[in-house]
A and B are shown apart, each in its own frame.
Chain A
Amino acid sequence: MYNFDVERPATIAQAVKALSTEEAQPMSGGQTLIPTLKARLAMPSVLVSLSGIDEMKGVRKNDDGLLCIGGGTTHTTVATEAAAHYPGLAELAARIGDPAVRNRGTLGGSIANNDPSACYPAAVLGSGATVVTNSREIAADDYFLGMFETALHEGELVTEVKFPIPQASHYEKHLQPASRFPLVAVFVAKFEEGVRVAVTGASESGVFRWTEAEEALSGSFKSDTLKDLTLDGSGMISDLHGSGAYRAHLATVMTRRAVDAISD
């Protein structure tokens, strides 16, 4: 990697200040950034490590009944501490990457990067969560803008994500055989007011809601109601591991399976 300076702020305010330096780069768990640096694909002047900011860590339920998870909370922590409140989310976190990734990688890092094949964006969008930054709150529906694109401004940090807790939820994923990222994965969350379905890994525009399925499931929460629904493969990722048509098909299968898992 190229040389850079490192800052380790202890508060969000210090971090925001450090990030005002030209070519500064925030780093949370580093599970994407460190390999990128090692491949010399990034050349920050200052790496601002967020791992020492305690106010960005932790899992708590707030007075409105939302599950609030700090942006700097590791997947392992979510897997254990969210389990009693939001088991579907905890199970998703428990199956991201491998133990090393889960012990370092964070919720905020994942959704700030917004890899089109990452797991967390499906949960955030599928839950209808709110992304809290150092300066504002952004609804999940307005947050994910495309492949590796989010509503975050330069230097803006995901400090917390507030999750409404569904009656039931399930995350179903089909693995890409090499990277073990989702080739396609679907998060289904059943709320009193309706069902949300978020698909990751499939689209060239990143995570998206499958609204037709949501409407059908909100009417009748049975996988059978999905059997005639299809997705268009033309906007889907096509690569060594699967065509767009295959990904579109997998999204329907994963959705049905998620519904079955909840219904069982």
Chain B
Amino acid sequence: MPKDSGIGASSKRREDIRFLTGDGNYTDDINIHGQAYVYFLRSDIAHGTLNSVNTDAAATMDGVVKIFTGADFEAVGSIPCGWQITDKHGEVMQEPRHPVLAHGKVRHVGEPIAAVVAETLEQARDAAEAIEVDISELPAVVSMKDAVKEGATKVHDDLTSNLCYDWGFVEENKGAVDQAFKDAAHVTTLELVNNRLVANPMEPRVAVGDFARGTGDHTLYTTSQNPHVIRLLMGAFVLGIPEHKLRVVAPDVGGGFGTKIFHYQEEAFVTFAAKACNRAVKWTSSRSEAFMSDAHGRDHVTKIQLALDKDNNFTALRTDTYANMGAYLSTFAPSVPTWLHGTLMAGNYKTPLIYVNVKAVFTNTVPVDAYRGAGRPEATYQLERLVDKTAHELGVDPIKLRRQNFITEFPYATPVAVEYDTGDYVATMDKLEEIADVAGFAARRKESEAKGKLRGFGVNCYIEACGIAPSNLVGQLGARAGLYESATVRVNATGGLVVMTGSHSHGQGHETTFAQVVAEMIGIDESMVEIVHGDTARVPMGMGTYGSRSLAVGGSAMVRATEKIIAKARKIASHLLEASETDVELKDGAFTVAGTDKSVAWGDVTLAAYVPHNYPLEDIEPGLEETAFYDPSNFTYPSGAYACEVELDPETGQVTIERFSAADDFGNIVNPMIVTGQVHGGLAQGIGQALMENCSYDSDGQLLSASYMDYAMPRASDLPFYDVDHSCQTPCTHNPLGVKGCGEAGAIGSPPAVVNAVLDAMRSGGKDVGHIDMPVSPHRVWEAMNS
């Protein structure tokens, strides 16, 4: 019998009522009396020397409040990078200055050169057109491999080259890995591209800066996944505003997918300008601006090799990747191809020896950073494509080859520095074979062939590492932040609770699921629990939401704080019941003396905490409010097996997804409906990457896919009805809820299955091309079929 409330219930998303009825409060809904608007004049040249920016004529135009250029920000800090990588030689990465407004040079199309603050947005745009910008164009650095050649044009003149770092992992294993390849019975090699993507959240970025001259208090309203992190990065590193004079609010946010983690120039600009202009300043990104200013995702070029012994056991893996950083280091960019990628290269397999090399490269393109999955999709894609290619080279069944090499004993220490606590890869593969109806595929292929179509089946496994932690470890790895989470639980006198969480919900449904957990712990109705997030003035501290960490880390902090609440409430209850604390149990929202009918309701206890007439004042303080910080001891490791079935039109190259099946192990689940929704969304993005989405630059650094006319987003009609199952559950062993995280799985696990299926379809049509790069567009398929 499914539960109708609490942990395990598919409670309806309470936040959807306001989202769906137009009552949400998004950043663009925030309008401050007397606010002005900023328009950013952005570079349409990818690389050039900025000789001059003349604003004289523009400054006299109607409505102009003030015009800013790079010179106004010389005394202001660089947009900081939150992760420092140490390369294989022990050197720290090259880290260029990232100005709020371009100064000296422009380094990508879309980089802001000047900012016009005016009474209206149209006036700001009019004035921006009157700014005279003199740029001497330089050759654009676009191809990563060209960028690291001797004598290549440099994106940053003050760096030694375009190489940010050359990372080896695990460097000590390299010799043993190379030897294993020499000893191998079979080696499979694969070269591939993980295509660059634009995140495209439904809500573009918005920032409103406000300044109170009387108190000197700054406020920034922004579309962020982590307002406290923005407060720290912007306050401490860019503008020099102490945290107690800076409030950052991220109200309802319409999707992030990673690209709203990072601290952007526009946030620093509106905060700075609000003080300089002594009035609020608002920026709302247009969709066109979003394409050329939101951090992009992926963009890896990889060569990967697998060594096997004569019995088809994996003996070693090595991979060389060029990772595009773009023109500047976005907040967490350096960590994505390294610690979020290299550590995942074991996948679901007991490959004993692994070596990963990553060269991060500067180019004249928009900065690249975390996008749903961040590093883990890149790892999964190359590994699972490689395993599939290996199976076909060896003539063995791809599922059988995977099963043979699965890790089956846990905990399992990989050769890439992480320890999987739990998992059952056999169980998820069994479940997948069942829900994907593998047995019925041959008949479905026949039906397709009768229509003149080719049908293909592809499978892959994935492992991900969520809830990045613990802080002392990530500190050693170069993180410039802790990765704990905090929660404060405030119980009001009449029994209702307010949970102030450092996690941020921008579509995930925390207001529903977090309330389910607390309600279950106390035994009260979910409606008695309110979840507050997204405001540094209301939530004491937070690291925010990314990396599928909210429930595993933020939820754990909330559980710890709620446990403290319950412990104190029990003391009060035992006083009211005149019983020993150890005899008092909490059940269904009441404290009862075990084995008696003596009971006191939750609301009576909370009232006593605030009206402490009959209260143990000598032992405990009045009030009922607790805070907890939770710093996990390990990552969590969700895993699963996915299958895709495609139909391919050999005449046009058009691929349609006919079936997609996902068997996931997320550990314990709080709200199955929301988990299913998260998987659906992730699959849409993964399938989008595999079939359609592609952010493309020409050799001059011009963005070719700069709007929805050329950047193909998946639509509902491009996607099948999914078969999703998350009944395989091996709970996480080290967090109190036993949860693992589910937000990124779909995007991580689906691209290889799609490509494997397309290649299978092509093989069934007599064409074995070995590999085809994403997006697997009709044009690419047709070319491959006719090559």
The answer to the question of A153 belonging to the interface, with a C-beta cut-off of 8 Å to chain B, is: no
Task: Name A257's closest neighbour in chain B (CB-CB).
Answer: B651
Within 8 A of A (CB), among B696-711: 696, 704-705, 708-711
List B contacts of A229 (CB < 8 A): none
Against B, the Cβ 8 Å flags (1 = close, 0 = not) of A241-253 are 1110010011001
Are B654 and A178 closer than 8 Å at their CB atoms? no
Would A243 and B711 be within 8 Å (CB), given that A174-B652, A253-B652 are in contact?
no
- Chain A interface, number of residues (Cβ within 8 angstroms): 15
List A contacts of B710 (CB < 8 A): 178-179, 240-241
- Tell me the minimal C-beta distance from A234 to chain B in angstroms: 17
List B contacts of A253 (CB < 8 A): 651-652
Within 8 A of B (CB), among A13-40: 39-40
Contact of B713 among A178, A243, A246 (CB under 8 A): A178
- Complex Cα gap A99–B288 (Å): 23
Task: Name A254's closest neighbour in chain B (CB-CB).
Answer: B652
Within 8 A of B (CB), among A162-191: 174, 177-179, 183
- Complex Cα gap A177–B718 (Å): 10
The answer to the question of B782 belonging to the interface, with a C-beta cut-off of 8 Å to chain A, is: yes
- Tell me the minimal C-beta distance from A94 to chain B in angstroms: 15
Are B696 and A246 closer than 8 Å at their CB atoms? no
List A contacts of B705 (CB < 8 A): 178, 240
Task: Name B692's closest neighbour in chain A (CB-CB).
Answer: A177
Against A, the Cβ 8 Å flags (1 = close, 0 = not) of B148-184 are 0000000000000000000000000000000000000
Are A246 and B782 closer than 8 Å at their CB atoms? yes
Against A, the Cβ 8 Å flags (1 = close, 0 = not) of B756-787 are 00000000000000000000011100110000
- Complex Cα gap A183–B782 (Å): 14
Q: Is the interface of B mostly helix, strand, loop or mixed?
A: loop
Would A178 and B712 be within 8 Å (CB), given that A241-B777, A253-B652 are in contact?
yes
Task: Name A38's closest neighbour in chain B (CB-CB).
Answer: B286
Are A240 and B694 closer than 8 Å at their CB atoms? yes
- Chain B interface, number of residues (Cβ within 8 angstroms): 23
Are A177 and B652 closer than 8 Å at their CB atoms? no
- Complex Cα gap A183–B708 (Å): 15
The answer to the question of B42 belonging to the interface, with a C-beta cut-off of 8 Å to chain A, is: no
Task: Name B704's closest neighbour in chain A (CB-CB).
Answer: A240
Are B704 and A178 closer than 8 Å at their CB atoms? no
- Tell me the minimal C-beta distance from A252 to chain B in angstroms: 9
Within 8 A of B (CB), among A55-91: none
Contact of B652 among A178, A240, A241, A250 (CB under 8 A): A250
- Tell me the minimal C-beta distance from B774 to chain A in angstroms: 13
- Tell me the minimal C-beta distance from A264 to chain B in angstroms: 14
Task: Name A249's closest neighbour in chain B (CB-CB).
Answer: B782
Task: Name A39's closest neighbour in chain B (CB-CB).
Answer: B288
List B contacts of A241 (CB < 8 A): 710, 777, 779
Are B651 and A246 closer than 8 Å at their CB atoms? no
List A contacts of B708 (CB < 8 A): 178-179
- Tell me the minimal C-beta distance from B758 to chain A in angstroms: 15
Are A246 and B704 closer than 8 Å at their CB atoms? no
Are A177 and B782 closer than 8 Å at their CB atoms? no
- Complex Cα gap A174–B713 (Å): 17
- Tell me the minimal C-beta distance from A89 to chain B in angstroms: 24
Q: Which of A174, A178, A241, A249 has the most CB of B within 10 A?
A: A178
- Tell me the minimal C-beta distance from A42 to chain B in angstroms: 14
List B contacts of A243 (CB < 8 A): 779, 783
List B contacts of A250 (CB < 8 A): 652
Within 8 A of A (CB), among B172-202: none
The answer to the question of B570 belonging to the interface, with a C-beta cut-off of 8 Å to chain A, is: no
- Tell me the minimal C-beta distance from A37 to chain B in angstroms: 12
Are A177 and B777 closer than 8 Å at their CB atoms? yes
List A contacts of B653 (CB < 8 A): 246
Task: Name A246's closest neighbour in chain B (CB-CB).
Answer: B779
In the complex, 23 of the A-B residue pairs with CB atoms within 8 angstroms, ordered by the A residue number, are A40-B125, A174-B652, A174-B778, A177-B692, A177-B712, A177-B777, A178-B705, A178-B708, A178-B709, A178-B712, A178-B713, A183-B778, A240-B694, A240-B696, A240-B705, A240-B710, A241-B777, A243-B779, A246-B653, A246-B779, A250-B652, A253-B651, A253-B652
Given contacts A178-B692, A178-B710, A253-B651, 13 further A-B contacts (CB under 8 A): A40-B125, A178-B711, A178-B712, A179-B709, A240-B694, A240-B696, A240-B704, A240-B705, A241-B710, A241-B779, A242-B778, A246-B779, A249-B782
Closest 5 pairs (CB-CB, A-B):
A178-B712, A177-B712, A242-B779, A179-B709, A253-B651
